[in-house]
């Protein structure tokens, strides 16, 4: 099978975002632009510079309490989320905790697809708890990103078990060394793509694009 990839871009200037994005899309199907790595004042310029590539981009503005870099208020973040939704990326990553009715309705009016996301940076809940979380997230969007931290192989299996019940659109895997293999197995179970880096990992256990391409070549 072809491994579809999404390169995470975590640059600190609009020019670097554009340069890295062009490089990423030469080899990758998609790219995730982590707008939280930019100063808020630079986000409008980055949006303008990259807009011709938006249909291949996932836009993310992760707050600090969710493992991101954005340090402004939640009111400021929601204002920026509304702005980036208007640029119609492939997906707008929206944390489940921030998915209130008004914001969801605003994003839907822009015709932008929501990728509703939830991360556990400390561990992996039980299969029952994960299933309940998945069902709640499904009410926000059919496109779901559910990520935990694996401290054992069992944790990894728990996350991947979600694929037994899901429709299309689920991206579920585990971070960390124990979860690393789940970043590949999720593709075989139905994930539309897996997140990779161009070099240094943006998240624990993340493969580089070249590593994924090397693994894919072994299947030929």
Q: How far is CA 140 from the centre of its chain?
A: 16
pLDDT band at 201 (very low <50, low <70, confident <90, very high): confident
Has residue 191 got a pLDDT over 90? yes
Report the share of the chain in percent with pLDDT over 90. Answer: 88
Task: Find out whether 38 and 45 touch, Cβ atoms under 8 Å.
Answer: no
Buried b (16+ CB within 10 A) or exposed e, 74-112: eeebbebbbebbebbbbbbbbbbebbeeebbebbeebeb
User: What is the reported pTM?
Assistant: 0.93
Element (H or E) spanning 57, and its range?
strand 57-60
Average pLDDT over residues 76-87: 98
Q: What is the pLDDT of residue 2?
A: 76
| pLDDT above 70: percentage of residues in the chain | 97
Q: How far is 115 from 113, CA to CA, in rounded Å?
A: 7
Look at residue 217 and tell me whether its pLDDT is greater than 90: no
**pLDDT for position 72:** 93
For 196, list phi and psi in degrees, rounded to 5. -135, 170
What average pLDDT does the chain have? 94
User: What local confidence, expressed as pLDDT, does residue 199 receive?
Assistant: 82
Confidence at residue 181, expressed as pLDDT on a 0 to 100 scale = 94
Give the pLDDT band of residue 78 (cuts 50, 70, 90). Answer: very high
- Report pLDDT for 215: 80
So what's the pLDDT on residue 213?
86
Is the model's pLDDT at 165 over the cut of 90? no
Active-site positions read 119, 145
**Residue 23: its pLDDT value, please?**
97
26: tokens are 């030469």
Q: Quick one: tokens of 120?
A: 């556990």
| Residue 105 scores a pLDDT above 90 | yes
For 107-129, write each residue's pLDDT tens digit. Answer: 999 999 999 999 999 999 999 99
Determine the 3-state secondary structure of 128 from DSSP: helix
User: Residue 202 has which token pair?
Assistant: 């943006």
DSSP conformational letter for 72: S
User: What CA–CA distance (Å, rounded) separates 22 from 28?
Assistant: 10
* Distance between CA atoms of residues 41 and 139, nearest Å: 33
Please check the confidence at residue 93 and state whether its pLDDT lies above 90. yes
Could you tell me which residues are beta bridge partners of residue 196? 7, 207
Domains and CATH numbers, the chain: 5-114+179-217 (3.20.20.70)
Under DSSP, is residue 13 helix (H, G, I), strand (E, B) or coil?
A: coil
**Between vectors from CA 143 to CA 63 and to CA 112, what angle results, nearest 5°?**
75
pLDDT band at 218, cuts 50/70/90? low
């Amino acid at each position: 099978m072809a491994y579809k990839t999404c390169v995470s871009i975590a640059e600190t200037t609009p020019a670097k975002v554009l340069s890295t994005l062009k490089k990423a899309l030469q080899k990758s199907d998609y790219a995730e632009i982590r707008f939280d790595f930019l100063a808020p004042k630079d986000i409008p310029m980055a949006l303008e510079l990259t807009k011709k590539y938006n249909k291949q981009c996932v836009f993310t503005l992760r707050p600090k309490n969710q493992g991101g870099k954005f340090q402004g208020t939640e009111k400021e973040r929601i204002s920026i989320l509304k702005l980036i939704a208007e640029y119609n990326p492939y997906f707008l990553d929206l944390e489940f905790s921030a998915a209130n009715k008004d914001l969801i309705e605003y994003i839907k009016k822009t015709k932008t697809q929501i990728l509703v996301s939830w991360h556990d940076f400390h561990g992996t809940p039980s299969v029952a708890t994960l299933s309940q979380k998945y069902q709640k997230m499904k009410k926000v969007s059919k496109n779901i990103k559910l990520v935990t931290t694996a401290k054992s192989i069992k944790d990894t299996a728990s996350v991947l078990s979600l694929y037994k019940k899901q429709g299309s659109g689920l991206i579920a895997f585990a971070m960390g060394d124990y979860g690393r293999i789940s970043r590949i197995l999720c593709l075989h179970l139905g994930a539309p793509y897996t997140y990779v880096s161009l070099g240094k990992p943006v998240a624990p256990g993340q493969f580089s694009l070249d590593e994924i391409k090397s693994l894919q070549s072994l299947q030929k």
